[in-house]
Structure 1
Amino acid sequence: MNQDYIKTDPWSIIEEGFNKELVKSSESLFSIGNGAMGQRANFEEEYTGETFQGSYIAGVYYPDKTRVGWWKNGYPEYFAKVLNAPNWIGIEILIGDELLDLNTCKSVNDFKRELNMREGWYQRSFTAQLQSGVEISVCTTRFLSLDIDEVGAIQYEITPLNQNVDITFCPYLDSGITNEDTNWDDKFWNTTNITSEGNQAFIEAHTMKTNFATCTFMEAKLLYKGSPIEISPNLKKGDTSVGLSYELAVEKGECFSIHKFGGYTVSRNHNESELVKAAKSTLQKAVTIGYEGLLQKQKEAWAQIWEMSDITIEGDVKAQQGIRFNIFQLNQTYLGKDSRLNIGPKGFTGEKYGGSTYWDTEAYCVPFYMATKNQEVAWSLLEYRYNHLEKAIENAKKLGFTNGAALYPMVTMNGEECHNEWEITFEEIHRNGAIAFAIYNYHRFTGDYSYIPKMGLEVLIGIARFWHQRVNFSEEKQQYVMLGVTGPNEYENNVNNNWYTNYLAKWCMDYAAEQVQKVKNEYPEDYKRIADKTNLTTVETEDWNKVTNNMYFPFSEKHQVFLQQDGFLDKEMIKVQDLDKSERPINQKWSWDRILRSPYIKQADVLQGFYFFEDHFSKVALEKHFDFYEPFTVHESSLSPCVHSIQAAKLGRMEQAYTFYLRTSRLDLDDYNKEVEEGLHITSMAGTWMSIVEGFGGMRVLDNQLHFTPRIPKQWDSYSFKINFRNQVITITVSEQKVSFEITGNQDLKIQVNEKPLMLTPGKVVQA
């Protein structure tokens, strides 16, 4: 089904009308999170139709034993599973003696969902006629508090429409939870204690193997006719669940509602023996503030986030809705408060891909967080990798590398590789380069060099050592080559001399050698500490340079382009436009063997290198490579359209840039890849932000200065965004007629606009 059912609105995601076939997709699209936990938009009440239950706690995972036909040296022992956590949102509802279940109601009318992105809440309303003939009106609102991030709140309101009726609310907790994504159908949770006290209930449970201890908690408050009432609950207790049942005779036309406060305390943040105590303290805070008070604080917290991170687009509501949805979901997933956390590809919206960290973070997310938060948030993401350096060295050692060579994992929770497809685990080693690039990018953007002598140089040395050992000298070519790799284009496995990987390896070794020299000259104490720790010598960095000065890069004289890999031109070069549409997407229609022999590119590969190292190549070279590779690109990775949008904009091809922008910004809303029910593409959402800021806005940092080359799609009247550049906030507004800049702070800032200098002065709007 083509999912074009989401209503166009600048600030909300809206669905109208109840369609059982869309329930799982909407559970993804209307997901909520607060950086510490998140949940799919499952119904609070019972639903016996097709659904994908999902609640998630940041940093809590299970090491699901790898399932392969045979073992290989260095193979990961497990695939880290993002765990479906105990469910705290459930409210069983009886209308008379009948269970409320939208799958079995006689009729469901006026059904509406809204995810209000401006204020950070999710609401669902409907009227229903039950089998008994009773008609009710329901409105339920929930949010996960940014103010107290261990707690969420639900307001569930029911009004009988055609008769008086007894209504029972039974809010419950359930730790008898399974994952949809599991290799061996293991039991992931062990429930250890269930207690209740008045209107509160608690389930203590821990994960198997990893032993994350959790307390899932709730407290209920009841209202009738808008005023608080007291009802003594009946306790319903099972082996893995606890419920508190409240019954009331409700008059026709009157509203009976429950405020349910719930959430998690976790041993990552509290002493394991004090989780219930911590839960009670959290509940006391939340209940004292109250539902309305917490909601008001939620609105204020989101207003503050939007103040900095919003991008406004005039004249194109679909584009406006798309970018705000992306920015909203990124902020729901990660807020930079905890350097132990990272940004999973599905965030808190699904289980697919496992793990919390891919190279997506460094390549796509770091720029977004640097510019819309502050450098401390970006620092936290870099610190995360430094904290995992020893594990990266262990990962490389398992594969036979020595001397402190570091291979960062493709997928990880704790620094240990946990991806179990060999062609990615062993071969998609370009992820190492993205981490080094993020260190460079952080310094380039923030001007803060301190990370490198403190932590980053050790990371760069480990990465450079890996590349130095990973290449080998070809007697045939008399150059250094790299064999048996997989580039970003995963539709080619086990290829030789993937250009992107070779270029990254050369750059990483050169950059590491430069930073070694800089730290040696300018931070001698740090240099001594690092050299002693890593046994680094001058001879070693000279050896890196010998390799980088003689690295092989496949090149086609005929086409005057770098080749994606040695054998790329041996393929049958049929362009994507000449493929029958019924064959698309090829990852769902073709065998893997056929895909691997085809010229089709899953995502930017050579062009990813041209994106990272744009200033290494001329615009003419970019155009030549873009024209050669884009026609073979099927964009079946969520990370692909944004890079092509940025490059099309640089080349002045605004219609193409706009098409790619719309695809990246509405990838999930319009379900381009026909898989949104599995969860959202969180990390690629940062690419949407880049499409506007770096693509249409043309923002770059060159020679320690901000540069802009603003362009505007013809579909837009204007657009505006803010960036935090070295603790000064700059607002850029672009229309067909003019470009204006405004800066906050107390210092002037010289920038370049269309290669001409422009001085920004606080308090003045300056036009370029």
Structure 2
Amino acid sequence: MKNYIKANEWNIIEEGFDPHLNKISESIFSIGNGRMGQRANFEETFSGETLQGNYIAGVYYPDKTRVGWWKNGYPEYFAKVLNAANWIGLKIKIDHEILDLNTCTVTHFKRVLNMQEGYLERSFIAKLTSGKQLQVHAKRFYSIVDDEAGALQYSIKALNFAGTIQITSFTDGDIQNQDANYDEKFWNEVSGAVSDNIAFLTLQTKKTFFEVCTATQVFIQKNNKPVAIKPASTHREKFVSHLAVTDVVAGDSIVLHKYAVQVSSENHPKDKLQHISEQLLHKIVAKGFNNMLEEQAAAWAAKWETSDIVIKGDVKAQQAIRFNIFQLNQTYTGKDARLNIGPKGFTGEKYGGSTYWDTEAYCVPFYLSTSAQEVTRNLLIYRYKQLDKAIENAQKLGFTDGAALFPMVTMNGEECHNEWEITFEEIHRNGAIAYAIYNYIRYTGDADYLAEYGLEVLIGIARFWKQRVNWSAAKNAYVMLGVTGPNEYENNINNNWYTNTIATWCLKYAIEAATYVKDNQPHVYQKLVQKLQLDEFAEFSSWNAIVKGMYYPASTELGVFLQQDGYLDKEQTLVSELASEHLPLNQKWSWDRILRSCFIKQADVLQGLYFFEDDYDKDTLRRNFDFYEPRTVHESSLSPCIHSILAARLGNQERAYQFYLRTARLDLDDYNNDTEDGLHITSMAGTWMSVVEGFAGMRVRDNQLKFSPFLPDSWESFSFTINFRVYVLNIKIGHEQIIISNKSAEAITIKVFDKDYTIAAETVIYIVHKEKIVNIVA
């Protein structure tokens, strides 16, 4: 675990430069705007260890699968979100020396991610080998107002020398993904042009033929007077640049402003990319850097108004939750239903940056409560639009008649994950997508979604489960063989309790949804029956038979659900009994040893108890939690949040807080020694869940919000805002009272500790000692 980030409520701060931490910091200080994003690479030359990363949403490359031998049904490629052209590049040359923080002496280094206003800045003093010293201050951002644009300001001050400074400002498209399977470069140049202080570089991806035009315009001043800029005399493929040369004496200051736009053929006609980029570039240059920065601050203020969690009394906890919320908001905005949330967002290349089940299981609750309803609706529509591909994916594995298997990893709906135990067996992902539809309708009340989109998806998923189970004469029950549950430290197992449970839930919900649409929109329902060739009686009867006849492994002796058949055959060792040198298992043990152990990567049975907690009493929850948590190594970033929420539900406040700390500062403190690969964006939503669903105990039951809050001992209070249907509520939890503000135009009735409270429009209530309202203030 690292501990070099300074505690601050609104800023992520690094003081002092340690090149060994640089790749970690590049991830932590990443910036984005939902349309594109960038790691916190230095603008100037850096010859040390770095992962240059600039990513454009929706643009990908189908990198050929790298496997030793082929299996039927394997996807032919793994989709990679591409490392795109690096537009921030500056080469600073002082006489004959290049400014490079890997080769010079660096002092007064400070890097700050301003989360409140949405920008990154960095300052330092560099001493070159010649003894010349210069002071640098850099600031940049990706605009969330003009979401195809970014800008940077780079200031250089000569401290103790007279000489010549040469600045080359460039866009470099000759880059390579670190995770390329065969060390291939994925871009070809379409065109490049440089004139005056403007440069254009248009690249095209191989195979997929996406085109991206990157346009930049540069302005340089010395002591507030313009410096001449000219196109660089050298030109190479996939590279454009400008050059400025000026003499300086000690005390002189040079300020460079660089504006950039990145427009892609995903959003614009290919033959108009350069023209559109030129227009947008003109627009942002006319605004100017400072005005763009003011717009950025105002836009971020609006985001924070609906999504902020305010924690009093614990600066590190406050910093952590805001960091997680900040990264979620700059990864996905919901403006474009073609986009989704990759596990690394715009911060790295691991996992291909594609869509996983994390979106439905972990991110949906965050966006439901903090954004407009359309944002989550777009996340669901994303899957609906890929239903045909999900049916094709199932067909490749031998399923028929409209059965749909949504992919484990995808960019366009096709499965592109190539580990057999995941691709073929981690089929519980289907259940998470169905659950997200249910969760969305439960939260928003938008039952029309079923008729418009949801029912068709649910029927495809139900048809898959129907064909995936088989009847066991030995058990006199339906069984599910050869699966991988959420615990990926178990592969090719039989009767994973969570998978069996969510499969039968999906079958029940599909029937309920069909009945609702049939009763409320019969014309739509009849069209769907014809389109899907749905035999209601036969199919629903077979689904009901599986619901009633499914086998669920359990231990009557222990009073717990068994993760899968044979789980108790394993040696039952607890994590607390492992010596520290064995952890993390995935870095210290062979895969064979892990698979034979009882150790659990993340919530599995407990994932099901989180989704369906209302179906089980507290004693059942407690017995399973007390059995499985001590066997869980939490080596998935998705694990601590589920355990935190369940611990809170069981009244174990200390454990709930411990799990929260682990998930909240997972990346900031580099708990798993993997932050350098990129941030764990989807698990950041779990941090929000730990506070709102865990500490505040928020649930939606019977169309009503319920809260059962507690306050961690080290906090003075915490508060958050919730968008629920037509209502906006602010909830503040203190040691002695709960304050709930209804900022809506209508009254709302909620439950707090199972007692009803009606809050009039634009009214604040105070609940003291968890019992009564002592005052109502308009």
TM-score using structure 2 length: 0.98
CA–CA distance in structure 1, aligned partners of residues 96 and 260 of structure 2:
26
Report the counterpart of residue 392 of structure 1 in structure 2: 390
Of 267, 274, 289, 1:291 maps to 289
CA–CA distance in structure 2, aligned partners of residues 90 and 516 of structure 1:
56
CA–CA distance in structure 1, aligned partners of residues 229 and 321 of structure 2:
46
CA contact (8 A) 2:745 2:762 kept: no
Report the counterpart of residue 748 of structure 1 in structure 2: 747
Report the counterpart of residue 317 of structure 1 in structure 2: 315
Alignment of 1:581-620 (within 5 A): 581-620=580-619
1:104 aligns with 2:103: yes
Alignment of 1:493-572 (within 5 A): 493-538=491-536, 539-572=538-571
Q: CA deviation at 1:97?
A: 2.2
Say which SS state the counterpart of residue 236 (structure 1) adopts. Answer: coil
CA–CA distance in structure 2, aligned partners of residues 727 and 23 of structure 1:
45
Q: Return closer, same or farther for 1:123/1:664 CA change in 2, 3 Å cut-off.
A: same
Q: Which amino acid aligns with 1:284?
A: H
CA contact (8 A) 1:198 1:233 kept: yes
Output one character per residue of 1:655-680: Cα deviation in whole Å (capped at 9) or x when no partner.
11111001001000011101110000
Q: CA deviation at 1:240?
A: 1.9
Q: CA deviation at 1:132?
A: 2.1
CA contact (8 A) 2:729 2:744 kept: no
CA–CA distance in structure 1, aligned partners of residues 480 and 416 of structure 2:
24
Say which SS state the counterpart of residue 237 (structure 1) adopts. Answer: coil
Q: CA deviation at 1:232?
A: 4.1
Q: CA deviation at 1:228?
A: 4.5
CA–CA distance in structure 1, aligned partners of residues 656 and 606 of structure 2:
15
Q: CA deviation at 1:254?
A: 2.3
Point out 4+ residue stretches in structure 1 off by more than 6 angstroms: none
Report the counterpart of residue 441 of structure 1 in structure 2: 439
Of 473, 482, 503, 2:480 maps to 482
Q: CA deviation at 1:104?
A: 1.1
Of 269, 272, 275, 1:271 maps to 269
Say which SS state the counterpart of residue 12 (structure 2) adopts. Answer: strand
Report the counterpart of residue 430 of structure 1 in structure 2: 428
Output one character per residue of 1:47-100: Cα deviation in whole Å (capped at 9) or x when no partner.
111111111000111101111122111111111112111111101111122111
Q: Return closer, same or farther for 1:649/1:227 CA change in 2, 3 Å cut-off.
A: farther
Of 146, 151, 154, 2:152 maps to 154
Q: CA deviation at 1:235?
A: 4.0
CA contact (8 A) 2:696 2:707 kept: yes
Alignment of 1:582-661 (within 5 A): 582-661=581-660
Q: How many residues align?
A: 766
Report the counterpart of residue 62 of structure 2 in structure 1: 63
Alignment of 1:322-333 (within 5 A): 322-333=320-331
Say which SS state the counterpart of residue 607 (structure 1) adopts. Answer: helix
Output one character per residue of 1:448-495: Cα deviation in whole Å (capped at 9) or x when no partner.
111110010000000000000000000011100000000000000000
Q: CA deviation at 1:629?
A: 0.4
Q: CA deviation at 1:127?
A: 0.3
Alignment of 1:86-235 (within 5 A): 86-105=85-104, 107-235=105-233
CA–CA distance in structure 2, aligned partners of residues 600 and 447 of structure 1:
40
CA–CA distance in structure 2, aligned partners of residues 487 and 227 of structure 1:
64
CA–CA distance in structure 2, aligned partners of residues 168 and 727 of structure 1:
58
Q: Which amino acid aligns with 1:760?
A: I
CA–CA distance in structure 1, aligned partners of residues 448 and 88 of structure 2:
44
CA–CA distance in structure 2, aligned partners of residues 235 and 618 of structure 1:
75
CA–CA distance in structure 2, aligned partners of residues 355 and 126 of structure 1:
32
Alignment of 1:698-713 (within 5 A): 698-713=697-712
Of 243, 246, 249, 1:248 maps to 246
CA contact (8 A) 2:741 2:764 kept: yes
CA contact (8 A) 2:171 2:239 kept: yes
CA–CA distance in structure 2, aligned partners of residues 98 and 587 of structure 1:
44
CA–CA distance in structure 2, aligned partners of residues 496 and 311 of structure 1:
42
Report the counterpart of residue 690 of structure 1 in structure 2: 689
CA–CA distance in structure 1, aligned partners of residues 102 and 353 of structure 2:
33
Report the counterpart of residue 77 of structure 2 in structure 1: 78
Q: Which amino acid aligns with 2:74?
A: Y
Report the counterpart of residue 23 of structure 2 in structure 1: 24
- Alignment RMSD: 0.9
CA–CA distance in structure 2, aligned partners of residues 109 and 559 of structure 1:
60
1:41 aligns with 2:35: no
CA contact (8 A) 1:109 1:128 kept: yes
CA–CA distance in structure 1, aligned partners of residues 454 and 700 of structure 2:
20
Report the counterpart of residue 401 of structure 1 in structure 2: 399
CA contact (8 A) 1:355 1:418 kept: no
CA–CA distance in structure 2, aligned partners of residues 148 and 169 of structure 1:
27
Q: Which amino acid aligns with 1:424?
A: I
Report the counterpart of residue 734 of structure 1 in structure 2: 733
CA contact (8 A) 1:742 1:762 kept: no
Q: Which amino acid aligns with 1:637?
A: S
CA contact (8 A) 1:358 1:410 kept: yes
Q: Which amino acid aligns with 2:526?
A: K
Q: Which amino acid aligns with 1:560?
A: G
CA–CA distance in structure 2, aligned partners of residues 498 and 748 of structure 1:
45
Say which SS state the counterpart of residue 191 (structure 1) adopts. Answer: strand
Say which SS state the counterpart of residue 354 (structure 1) adopts. Answer: helix
CA contact (8 A) 1:406 1:465 kept: yes
Q: Which amino acid aligns with 2:190?
A: T
Q: CA deviation at 1:263?
A: 3.1
Of 277, 280, 296, 2:278 maps to 280
CA contact (8 A) 1:181 1:352 kept: yes
CA–CA distance in structure 1, aligned partners of residues 245 and 563 of structure 2:
67
Deviates more, 1:425-434 or 1:197-206: 197-206
Q: Which amino acid aligns with 1:601?
A: I
Q: CA deviation at 1:251?
A: 3.0
Report the counterpart of residue 772 of structure 2 in structure 1: none
Output one character per residue of 1:552-581: Cα deviation in whole Å (capped at 9) or x when no partner.
000101101110001110000000000011
Say which SS state the counterpart of residue 509 (structure 2) adopts. Answer: helix
CA contact (8 A) 1:88 1:263 kept: no
Q: CA deviation at 1:278?
A: 0.9
Identical aligned residues as a percent = 59
Q: Which amino acid aligns with 1:339?
A: A
CA–CA distance in structure 1, aligned partners of residues 296 and 166 of structure 2:
29
CA–CA distance in structure 2, aligned partners of residues 584 and 271 of structure 1:
51
Q: CA deviation at 1:226?
A: 3.5
Report the counterpart of residue 758 of structure 1 in structure 2: 757
Report the counterpart of residue 722 of structure 2 in structure 1: 723
Output one character per residue of 1:662-710: Cα deviation in whole Å (capped at 9) or x when no partner.
1001000011101110000000000000000000000000111100001
TM-score using structure 1 length: 0.99
Q: Which amino acid aligns with 1:23?
A: N
CA contact (8 A) 1:355 1:412 kept: no
CA–CA distance in structure 2, aligned partners of residues 187 and 764 of structure 1:
59
1:6 aligns with 2:5: yes
Gaps of 5+ in 2: 768-778
CA–CA distance in structure 1, aligned partners of residues 200 and 244 of structure 2:
18
CA–CA distance in structure 2, aligned partners of residues 299 and 230 of structure 1:
32
Q: Which amino acid aligns with 1:101?
A: D
CA–CA distance in structure 1, aligned partners of residues 668 and 353 of structure 2:
24
Q: CA deviation at 1:282?
A: 1.0
Q: Which amino acid aligns with 1:131?
A: T
CA contact (8 A) 2:310 2:720 kept: yes
